[in-house]
Amino acid sequence: MLQAHQMAPDFEFFNEKRETVWLHDYRGQKVVLYFYPKDNTPGCTRQACAFAAAYSRFQQQGILVIGISKDSVRSHQNFAAKYELPFLLVSDPQLSIIQAYDVWQKKKLYGKESMGVVRTTYLIDEEGKIEKVFEKVKPETNAQEILDYLNS
């Protein structure tokens, strides 16, 4: 897992206008990167909806919210439309961003081990450094946990 005070790995993605941008293009503002396993699953849906409900509070503080999973762009489009998600969803089917942030790990479910995305959130500061790492986050409370941290 990456640690606080490290430079956040830079990556290229499409913004809401389908323009190619880099994470470093958002220097000067905080960025929440939340990594989640799969669109339209119960936990991931609860987490996305919690971020959507809190989105205006992130915007008021000038914070960009980005959700990242290995789902396809099409899956993200459908997921965002279905739940009216106002923030960016980044598709990483090649796992390049997911692996750069060290969230592709061995997971155990019902006694069976497999590789997958470990639900983790990174708060990136205005200089592009990791300010805080939220590990093993709970889908329902992740967004509020970040807001509480920011307001403490």
Active site residues per annotation: 44
- Cβ-based neighbour number of residue 108 at 10 Å: 9
Q: Answer for the pair 65, 57: CB distance below 8 angstroms, yes or no.
A: no
Burial 61-98 (b: 16+ CB within 10 A, else e): eebbbbbbbbbeeebbeebbeeeebebbbbbbeeeebb
Q: Answer for the pair 115, 106: CB distance below 8 angstroms, yes or no.
A: yes
- Measured distance CA(60)–CA(79) in Å, rounded: 24
Angle formed by the axes of helices 42-60 and 73-83, nearest 10°: 70
| Structure token pair of residue 148 | 């509480």
